[in-house]
Structure 1
Amino acid sequence: MQILQSGIGPAFAAEKAVPAEKNPPGDIPDSQVFIDYVSPLGFTLKVPEGWARSDRPDGASFVDKLDGVSVTVSKADAAPTAESAKTDYVPKLEAGGRAVKVTAIKQVKLPAGPAIRIVYTSNSEPNAVTSKQVRLENERYLYFTDGKLVTLDLYAPKGADNVDQWQLMSNSFRWK
């Protein structure tokens, strides 16, 4: 359920936002145990124990039902700023995502250093059997060091209470 996938065209930009569920599933329990994920790509991050992990050449994803965490690594010439995120990252996010609506972009100070936080909503991928979609809330963090950009995406059904768990994960990111 990764938000940005290769081959997604502008047809998704015209997709209508699905309504949020009244009692959304997807809360990460307060009792959830987190473990350290040590990436061969040069960073560590706490992720929920027991979530399905998929490794990719550019990162990894962790998924449990309608919740997910995705980390990708790419090359970058400079650290992103809130302004460059508005001009460079958001148009790509909107063009490649499903009914994306960005609500906030700001620079944040995290233990790993400064990062850019992009908050937005989007539709999930359609269920393969039912074609049903869920409205998601998303947080994207852009971490940069020495020509390397790590993008951390966190997503869950809109209205799920994952603030503390997302803060734990975004604050746990460390460069190796």
Structure 2
Amino acid sequence: MQGRTRIKGYFRLLPMAIFAVAALIGSATQIAGTPAMATERPVTPEKNPPGDIPDTQVFITYASPLGFSLKVPEGWARTDHPDGAGFSDKYNAVDVTVTSAPRAPTATSIASHEAADLVQGGRAVRIAAIRQVMLRSGPALLIVYTSNSGPNPVTNRQLRLERHRYLIYRGGKLATLDLSAPLGADNADQWKLISDSFQWR
């Protein structure tokens, strides 16, 4: 009952947070980047971008020693990090990290810090939305944004990417789940499957 009360209170504050976030997003997109990034402009999205995850894609469960699990596409290359893991296939990527956090983030704190850092340090980042969502594991915050990819090491080609960043908190731990794919790729169902599959263990 106490947990339900906290969640209800969380949703009750959401309208005020949304109002504050709207103002903060507008200012965050004006933040100048580092000298290397400030001159980078958004690349033009492709008409038929690569990157659709097939409807027939098989997903497997990845269980991390850091105390979480989630479903990832079978066959994607995996890279392990001290704070998480990444899975990739061409320009598609799933990355998840876990850090310590004294308290759960709010929409306002995310707009002021996390989103602002993305704009400042990313590649032509444009924030589209910051909102609260409900995953199967519980409430989370979602940053929807676009950015340029890094240059291809062979062709120097860049793509415009669509990106979703989920911030999932529990008991002093904050999981950051990043999903990215070429802008225009149709991965809505697959991204929902991945984000909904996240579970603390």
TM-score of Structure 1 vs Structure 2, range by shorter chain: over 0.9
RMSD of aligned C-alpha atoms?
A: 1.2
Q: What's 1:156 paired with?
A: 181
Report the equivalent of 2:42. 17
Q: How does 1:103-114 map to 2 (within 5 A)?
A: 103-114=128-139
Residue range with higher mean Cα deviation, 22-31 or 73-82: 73-82
Bigger strand fraction: 1
1:118 maps to 2:143: yes
User: 2 CA distance for matches of 1:81 and 1:11?
Assistant: 30
Equivalent-residue separation in structure 2 for 1:155 and 1:19 (angstroms) = 17
State the 1:10 CA deviation. 4.8
User: Following the alignment from structure 1 to structure 2, what is the Cα–Cα distance between the partners of residues 47 and 15?
Assistant: 31
C-alpha displacement at 1:11, in angstroms? Answer: 2.1
TM-score where L is the length of structure 2: 0.82
TM-score normalised according to structure 1 size: 0.93
User: How far did 1:38 drift?
Assistant: 0.2
- Is 1:51–2:82 an aligned residue pair? no
Q: From the CA coordinates, give the structure whose radius of gyration is larger.
A: 2
The offset of 1:9, in angstroms, is 4.6
Listed one character per residue, the Cα deviations across residues 18-68 of structure 1 (whole Å, up to 9, x for unaligned) are 000110000000000000000110100000000000000010000001100
Number of corresponding residues: 169
Aligned residues with identical type, % of pairs: 62
The one of 144, 151, 154 equivalent to 2:169 is 144
Query: Distance in 2 between the 1:13 and 1:111 partners?
Result: 38
Contact 1:10–1:95 under 8 Å retained in 2: no
* Counterpart residue identity of residue 164, structure 1: D
Q: Could you list the runs of 5+ residues in structure 1 that have no partner in the other structure?
A: 1-7
Q: Residue 80 of structure 1 aligns with which residue?
A: 105
Distance (whole Å) between structure 1 residues aligned to residue 61 and residue 173 of structure 2: 21
Structure with more of its chain in helix, by fraction: 2
Q: Deviations over 1:117-141 (max 9, x none)?
A: 1100000010111111000000000
